[in-house]
Amino acid sequence: MPVTSPLTRWAALVAGFMLAHQVAAKAVRDSFFLTVFPATSLPSMVMAAAVVSIAAVPIYSRLLARYGPNRLVPAGFLLSAAAHVVEWTQPALTPVLTIVIYLHLAGLGALLLSGFWSLAAETFDPITARRQYGRIAAAGTLGGIAGGAAAERLAAWLPPSSLLLFLATLHAVCGVILVLRRVDAARRGEEDDAPAPTLGLGALRLAPQLKPLALLVLLGTASAAVLDYIFKAQAADHYDGGDLLRYLAMFYAVTQTLTFLAQTFITNRALTRRGIGDTVSTLPLGVGLGSIAALFVPALPLFATARGLELVIRGSLFRSSYELLFTPMGPVAKRRAKAFLDVACDRAGDAVGAGMVQLALAIAPAFLVSSLLGVVLGMAAVALWASRRLNTFYARQVERRLVDHAEHTFDDADVTGWATRPLVPPISGHAPEATPRPADPPILDASTRLFLTLRSGNRAEVIRALAAGGPFEAAHVAHIITLLAWDDVRDDAQAALIKAGPTHTGLLVDHLLAPDVAFAVRRRLPPVLAHLPSPRALDGLLAGLDDARFEVRYRCSRAIDAIVADRPDLPIDRARVFAAIARELAVPLSVATSYTVIDGDDPADSADRHGFVGPNVDYVFSLLAAVLPREPLKAAHRAVSSDDRLLRGLALDYLDGVLPDDLRGPFRAILDIDAAHARPAQAVTASDDDARGQSDSPRRTTPASDPH
C-alpha cells in the first residue's frame, strides 16, 4: 500500500495499530463477558456502556477545548495502555473486573477512534483527504486482520488474560507514534491546537444540517447493536470459554479481510461513480438485505452473515465516505460535529438497540429473533431515507467553506495586510504614532487560490488554471460552467469540464436543465456531456430535449448520438426519444426550416452534414440513430443529404419502413421542403426563434462574451 507523504504514513501506522486493537478488543471483551454472564445480560451491559460514554462527552469536550486533539489523543492512547496493564495484573476474572474491562473498551475506545479521525480531518484538506482516506482506512483494515488473527492464535497458545498485555502494547504504540508526530510538527511550526467549543445536543442547534447525519448514525448503530446481540447470543449457545474467544476472533479476522478487499476494489470506485451520499447509503441497504436473509433462514451462519455484512460495509464503504463528509468543515465545526456524532449519537444508538432487545426479551421471548429482525428492517429503511440527503449536505459544505473563505480573504484587513491611516494630522507637541507594519499576507490553500484565479477575469490566468487540470471541487466546477459563456476561454473550459466531469456529472446536468442559466452556457454543455457517457448524463440530455431553444435541443441530440455510439450498452427510453421527435416535427415548417446554429458544427458533426439538409433534419436523424439500427440510419442520413436521386430514393424507402406511422409523414414533408429549397447548411449568428409557437422575436440572452 503506497503512501505519498509523512502525514499519510503516520496516519496509516496509527490506523493499523488502532484497528488491530479494536478487532482484538471486541473478541476479548465479548468472550470475557459471555464467560462470566449469560447472554441475556448483554443488552444491559451495552446500555450501561452507552450511558458511560455519553456522560464522558462533556468531560472530553472540556479537555479537548483546553488541550486540543494533538495533545489529548496521544495521552488517551497511553492512558488506555496503562489501564490494560492494571487489568492484567488482577488475579482473577471477577464480575467486577469484567464490567470494568467492558466499559474501558466500549467507552474510551469510541472516544479515541473519534479523536483519531478528528485529528486526521484537521490534518488533510478535502482533496488530499479524498485521495488518502482510502489508503488510511485500508491500512486500518490490514491492522484489523492482523489483530484478529493474532488474538485467535494467542488465545490458543496462552491464557486468555495475556491478551490484555497484547492490547496494552497496541495502544502504547499508537500513543508513541502520535507523540513523535506532534513533536515533529511542533519543531516545524505546523502544530495547531485551536480550542474546540463545548459539545453536546447544542451541536444540532448550531448546525441543523447535521440532523440527517445524526439520525443515520443513531439508527445505524442501533441496528448494529441488535444484530450484534442476535449473533453473539447464538454463538454463546454453540461455544463457550476459549472456544468462544477463538470463534469470535476468527469471525472478526474474516470480516476484516473482507473489509480490506471491499476497501481496495470497491470503495474508491463507488465514491467516484456514485458520490458520497450513495456510498453512505450502502450501510442501511446492506443491513436490510442481511436481516431479510436471516429472517428466511434463522441459523447461526446467517446471523453471522448479517452481522458480518454490517461490519464489512461499515469499515469500508461507509467509513471512507462518512469521514469525507467532515473534510470541508472548519476545525471548530469539525470537532463539534465529530464528537457529537461519533460519541454521543453512536453510544445513544447502542443504548437504543440494547433497549429494544431488553423490551423484546420482556414481552415477546418466544418470537425474539424475528421481532428484532423486523425492528432492524424498519430502522434500516429510515436510515436509508436519511442517507439520500447527504450528497446535498456535502456539496453545500464545500461551497459554503470556499465562499466564506474567499469573502473573508478580501474583506478582512488582517488577512489582506491593508492598514488604514488617520486623515487628521497628529496634535502638535505629540510625537506621531508609528505606522503599524502590515501583517504578512495569508498563505491560502491551493483550493482557494484556484477558486480566486478562476474568478479573476484575467484571460491568461484563467486559461492557465484550466489547463493545469485541477483538481476541481464542486465550487470550482460550478464557476467553470459559467466560463462557457466567455468566448475567449470556452474551449479551455470545456476541456477542463470534460476532465472533471466524471465526478460532477450531476452538477453539469443541473446547469443544463436550469432555464435561468445563460443560453450560451446551456448550448455549450451538451458537447461536454457527450464525453461523459453514463446513465446520469444520458438522462440529463434526454431532459434537455425539452429546452425552449432549438440549439440547446440540437446539441443535446448530437451528444445523445455520441454517447449511444460510445456506450451502446446504456439503456435509453425509446418512447421518450420518439416523443421528442414528434414534438419537433409538429413545429410549423416555416419555423423549422429557418433554424440556424450559432456556434457552428464540430468536426464530428460535419461528417454527417452534406448537401442541403438543415439542422432540424440532423436533429431528427441523431435521435433516430439512438433508438433504431445505427449504421443504416447513418447511411440514410448521408443519402438524403446527397443530390443523387437514386440514393435519396433508397433512403426515403428505408425510412418509410422503419419510422412509426405518426412520424413518417411529417418527416417526409421536411425532407421534401429541404430538397425543394436546396438550402445550404451553414452557421449564422441569427436568433433561433422558439419552435414551440412562442414569440417570433428573438429572445434576449446573456452576451456570449460575458464570463459572469
CA distance 698 to 64: 63
Q: Which three cell numbers stand for residue 695?
A: 414569440
Residue indicated by cell numbers 445536543:
201
Residue 700 vs residue 569, higher pLDDT = 569
Is pTM beyond 0.75? Reply is: no
**Using an 8 Å Cβ cutoff, are 115 and 72 in contact?**
yes
Residue 101 vs residue 130, higher pLDDT = 101
Write the pLDDT tens digit of every residue in 144-164: 888 878 887 888 888 888 889
CA distance 514 to 49: 51
Asked if pLDDT for residue 700 goes beyond 50, the answer is no
Asked if pLDDT for residue 366 goes beyond 60, the answer is yes
Across the range 507-513, mean pLDDT stands at: 90
Nearest in space to 555 (alpha carbons), one of 513, 601, 502, 590: 601
Side-chain half-sphere of 590: how many Cα atoms within 13 Å? 2
Contacts of 173 (CB under 8 A, 6+ apart): 17
Nearest in space to 60 (alpha carbons), one of 114, 128, 123, 18: 114
Asked if pLDDT for residue 9 goes beyond 60, the answer is yes
Asked if pLDDT for residue 650 goes beyond 80, the answer is no
Asked if pLDDT for residue 140 goes beyond 90, the answer is no
Asked if pLDDT for residue 444 goes beyond 50, the answer is yes
| Ordered structural domains, the chain, with CATH | 6-186+196-399 (1.20.1250.20), 443-495 (no CATH), 504-708 (no CATH)
**Using an 8 Å Cβ cutoff, are 638 and 613 in contact?**
no
pLDDT of residue 29: 87
- Per DSSP, 456 falls in state S
Nearest in space to 682 (alpha carbons), one of 588, 628, 618, 620: 618
Rg (CA), the chain: 32
Q: In the predicted model, what is the mean pLDDT of the chain?
A: 77
Q: Which three cell numbers stand for residue 246?
A: 477463538
Asked if pLDDT for residue 471 goes beyond 90, the answer is no
pLDDT of residue 636: 80
pLDDT of residue 655: 78
Across the range 688-699, mean pLDDT stands at: 36
Write the pLDDT tens digit of every residue in 261-287: 888 888 877 876 777 788 899 999 999
Across the range 93-97, mean pLDDT stands at: 90
To the nearest 10°, report the CA torsion of 697, 698, 701, 703: -130
Write the pLDDT tens digit of every residue in 516-549: 889 999 999 999 999 989 999 999 999 999 998 9
> What sign for the dihedral angle of Cα 192, 193, 198, 199?
positive
Q: Which three cell numbers stand for residue 696?
A: 417570433
Residue indicated by cell numbers 480531518:
121
Q: Which three cell numbers stand for residue 407?
A: 469573502
CA distance 481 to 486: 10
Instruction: Return the HEC string of 133-146.
Output: HHHHHHHHHHHHHH
Dihedrals φ, ψ of 299, to 5°?
-140, 160
3-class DSSP state of 364: coil
Listed in order, strand segments (DSSP E) in 384-489 are: none
- Per DSSP, 340 falls in state I
Side-chain half-sphere of 241: how many Cα atoms within 13 Å? 3
Q: Name the packing angle between helices 241-262 and 300-313 (round to 10°).
A: 40
**Using an 8 Å Cβ cutoff, are 70 and 192 in contact?**
yes
Across the range 162-190, mean pLDDT stands at: 78
Q: Which three cell numbers stand for residue 481?
A: 460552467
Contacts of 21 (CB under 8 A, 6+ apart): 109, 147, 167, 170, 171, 174
Asked if pLDDT for residue 404 goes beyond 50, the answer is no
Across the range 658-683, mean pLDDT stands at: 67
